[in-house]
Amino acid sequence: MQWRALLLGLVLLRLGLHGVLWLVFGLGPSMGFYQRFPLGFGFPRLRGPDDPAPPAAGPGAPSGPSWLQSPVLGAAAARRGAPRRPGRGVCGPAHWGYVLGGRGRGRDEYEKRYSGAFPPQLRAQMRDLARGMFAFGYDNYMAHAFPQDELNPIHCRGRGPDRGDPSNLNINDVLGNYSLTLVDALDTLAIMGNSSEFQKAVKLVISTVSFDKDSTVQVFEATIRVLGSLLSAHRIITDSKQPFGDMTIKDYDNELLHMAHDLAVRLLPAFENTKTGIPYPRVNLKTGVPPDSNNETCTAGAGSLLVEFGILSRLLGDSTFEWVARRAVKALWNLRSNDTGLLGNVVNIQTGHWVGKQSGLGAGLDSFYEYLLKSYILFGEKEDLEMFNAAYQSIQNYLRRGREACNEGEGDPPLYVNVNMFSGQLMNTWIDSLQAFFPGLQVLIGDVEDAICLHAFYYAIWKRYGALPERYNWQLQAPDVLFYPLRPELVESTYLLYQATKNPFYLHVGMDILQSLEKYTKVKCGYATLHHVIDKSKEDRMESFFLSETCKYLYLLFDEENPVHKSGTRYMFTTEGHIVSVDKHLRESPWKDFFPEEGRHNQEGKSVHRPKSHELKVINSSSNCNRVPDERRYSLPLKSVYMRQIDQMVGLI
């Protein structure tokens, strides 16, 4: 009996020591007791934003980042309510600020760098740097490339269509032998107040640019870059208020509007002879649709024509252009999945069959969503808002992953992933740089908190590489496609978030972007595409959107006194960054009653469930509100603990 009592005493002693170690240090020897006696003592292990969530119960439970896991339907509705508080066993931001370096007091390095006021002198310096960046690119284009379409900034010469290789779509889809860079930059000259150069450029366009060319171009690119710019410049010239200074042209007789009409007529054959009403992707400006034309097109390319075509129709009083563009949008909308409400990214224009079933926010779909909302803002057609609301709800339900609230709670930061349009299941683990436009779109509908988080993720990638790789694999924390062609999407979202919040954090972001562009992309005669964001090797190309968008948004970010912000006129930017005033004249459509009410049923004639339109607070993208002065003390738009978390998740720290 004594040996049994001794053994029992030793066991009890070891259990007691084990309990003390557990309580004091969260440690303890593993003796197999964990499985037999899951003693929690009321103190579950603490975890925070950087720790993985506990594995799901049962076989086949998902592991890894929450972005890999399918969302729980209904979470989107919860996100519209109050932010979720940290749950039991989860430390809040104050704790993690201490653990990760904040020490619970004072300001950490993020706050020190980003939360202070942005001095007026520094803002003026950055504004002038952005203006100088535009001038350097524009002047070199005019000196070395005009009248060709683009500037090769390394070798200081021009570039036009690749006549020797018609299959070189990367070049030929965009370059139509119509002085693309000059046309695309017109309204940037006006916004920067350069009336003399604007007037000179308009006269050059009128006298030298013709669309009667044997050039096969992409309908989408010709529409957003050329048609949109002509319409924007025309409205600037004819604006009776002249907010940007005297931009009038002596003896101007609506020539730019006539040129826009001529180009649009040459694009119309793309809408003919398609069984679905979805246009062909390309046309020859002289002969129409090529005989060997591809029957497959991307959703964004076919469904992002309504803003420019609608403006043209309403200025001319001719419904043709808006009608064909709206028919294409409705045809695509009717092909969405009845289960998820999502659209794919590539469709056959004759059969309506989805060739590409990926649904995301980047290439192939981005501007489709953008133009549903912006068409409503411009034209006031209720069905455009209804489609956008339904699409946005589906995006929230199936594409959004991560924690429910941007600035509260635990888990991975919100991210929008690529999924199968029919099942909502994850298709890959990359995002592309075009998706960086989405925070700006969220600003326009008032979903600013979500915009703040998504923008922070893209900015973290920028900080790591000094540019945005075309594709970034968030699971591998590395680029999948390494080039950066001077894209504007992150700058656009930065500008719109600053207009919505007036937080100087975004001025610091803009300064980082501006300085990176100067450091890594400036060459002898302009700014060059980065071929490789890591080694910073370059390609000899400066795309026209660098002047029409990237430089424009950077300039407006720092030019607080610009008429865009102060004139009292409400403005909106097209997907190519062309400025359009939002006024009642564009909401007048005498042919409205002639548009058929399509889109209420699917192809089988069955009624399609449509979520009720929730009222979205559409914010003027050029907010004229008076804000607090820079001298006040600002906090970060995203808590530093979450900013650090995002930096860790992209491998920055």
Q: What is the mean pLDDT of residues 187-206?
A: 98
Above 70 in pLDDT, residue 609? no
pLDDT band at residue 8 under the 50/70/90 scheme: low
| 212 catalytic residue (yes or no) | no
**Per-residue pLDDT, 73:** 63
Burial of 520 (0-12, 13-18, 19+ CB in 10 A): middle
What are the CA-CA distances from residue 155 to residues 518, 525, 542, 551, 645 (Å)?
18, 8, 11, 22, 42
- Mean pLDDT of the 630-653 span: 74
User: Token pair 């559409």 is at which residue?
Assistant: 618
Q: What is the pLDDT of residues 31-83, one digit of tens each?
A: 332 232 232 322 233 333 344 444 443 333 344 577 887 776 654 444 444 33
CA proximity to 71, closest of 429, 341, 400:
400
Confidence of residue 112 (pLDDT cuts 50, 70, 90): confident
Cβ–Cβ under 8 Å, residues 531 and 482: yes
For residue 463, the surrounding DSSP H or E stretch is helix 448-465
Distance CA 516, CA 520 (A): 6
Q: Burial code of 414-428, b = ≥16 C-beta within 10 A, e = fewer?
A: bbbbbbbbbebebee
Confidence of residue 17 (pLDDT cuts 50, 70, 90): low
- Confidence tier at 636 by pLDDT (50, 70, 90): confident
Out of 33-42, 104-113, 260-269, 332-341, least confident range:
33-42
Reported as a pLDDT band with limits 50, 70 and 90, residue 291 is: very high
Once rounded to an integer, what is the mean pLDDT over residues 607-624?
37
Question: Can 165 be counted among the known catalytic residues?
Answer: no
Q: How far is CA 343 from CA 38, 331, 353, 419, in A?
A: 48, 11, 11, 10
pLDDT for position 642: 83
Tell me which DSSP letter residue 589 carries.
-
pLDDT value of position 2: 60
Q: What pLDDT was estimated at residue 38?
A: 30
pLDDT in tens, 353-365: 999 999 999 999 9
Nearest-CA neighbor of 330 among 295, 365, 372, 360?
Answer: 372
Q: Cis before residue 83, ω within 30 degrees of 0? A: no
Q: Which of 54-58, 115-119, 342-346 has the lowest mean pLDDT?
A: 54-58
Query: Across residues 579-592, what is the average pLDDT?
Result: 83
Q: State the average pLDDT over residues 467-476.
A: 96
pLDDT at 630 over 80: no
Q: What is the pLDDT of residues 392-433, one digit of tens each?
A: 999 999 999 999 988 888 889 999 999 999 999 999 999 999
| 274-278, 398-402, 550-554, 605-609: segment of lowest average pLDDT | 605-609
H/E segment holding residue 431: strand 430-432
What residues pair up with 526 in beta bridges, in sequence order? 523
Q: What's the token pair of residue 197?
A: 């150069």
- Is-catalytic flag, 381? no
* Residue 438 banded pLDDT, cuts 50, 70, 90: very high
Asked if residue 604 has pLDDT above 50, the reply is: no
Task: Compare 348 and 23 and report the one with higher pLDDT.
Answer: 348
Average pLDDT, whole number, for the chain?
83
Per-residue pLDDT band for 15 (boundaries 50, 70, 90) equals low
pLDDT tens, residue by residue, 512-544: 999 999 999 999 999 999 999 999 999 999 999
State the Cα–Cα distance between residues 322 and 471, nearest whole angstrom.
34
How far is Cα of residue 114 from the mean position of the Cα atoms in its chain? 23
221 is catalytic: yes
Annotated catalytic residue: which of 432, 470, 549, 559? Answer: 470
> Residue 254: pLDDT above 90?
yes
What value does the mean pLDDT take over residues 103-117?
Answer: 64
Q: Does the pLDDT at position 192 exceed 60?
A: yes
Q: What is the pLDDT of residue 556?
A: 98
> Active site residue: 173, 489, 543, 549, which one?
489
Please give the residue that has the higher pLDDT: either 54 or 299. Answer: 299
H or E element, residue 284: strand 282-284
CB distance 373 to 441 below 8 Å: yes
The answer to whether residue 333 scores a pLDDT higher than 50 is yes
19 band by pLDDT with thresholds 50, 70 and 90: low
In the chain, the percentage of residues whose pLDDT exceeds 70 is 77
Q: How many CB atoms lie under 10 A from the CB of residue 250?
A: 6
User: Does 202 score more than 90 pLDDT?
Assistant: yes
Q: Which residues of 67-100 are buried (b: 16+ CB within 10 A; e: fewer)?
A: bebebeeeebeebeeeebebeeebbbbebbbeeb
pLDDT tier, 607 (very low <50, low <70, confident <90, very high otherwise):
very low
In this prediction the pTM is 0.82
The one catalytic residue among 111, 150, 197, 221: 221
Select the more confidently predicted residue: 484 or 34.
Answer: 484
What pLDDT, on a 0 to 100 scale, did the predictor assign at position 67? 82
**Bigger pLDDT: 18 or 298?**
298
